[in-house]
Amino acid sequence: MSSTGDKVKGMANEAVGNVKQGVGKATDNTKLEVEGKVQEKKGEAQQAVGKAKDAVKKAVDKS
């Protein structure tokens, strides 16, 4: 997957995770809230992978 794809999927997972957390809090659904937190962290990790790929590509391009 491209770095852009990783970053986009990461942002989407973060957004969905935040929504799940909000709904979980509003409905007192601990399971949904935890799922949201996990999905948010997954999104953050995907974005980090995308950024790392960008950094590697820039380093290779400079060589």
Instruction: List the chain domain ranges.
Output: 3-62
* Confidence (pLDDT) at 63: 78
CB 46 within 8 A of CB 6: yes
Residue 1 pLDDT: 77
CA angle 8, 11, 15 (to 5 degrees): 140
pLDDT of residue 62: 86
Q: How far is CA 21 from CA 5, 32, 36, 42, in A?
A: 24, 7, 5, 14
Residues 6+ apart with CB under 8 A from 38: 17
Q: What is the pLDDT of residues 16-38, one digit of tens each?
A: 999 999 999 999 999 999 999 99
pLDDT at residue number 2: 87
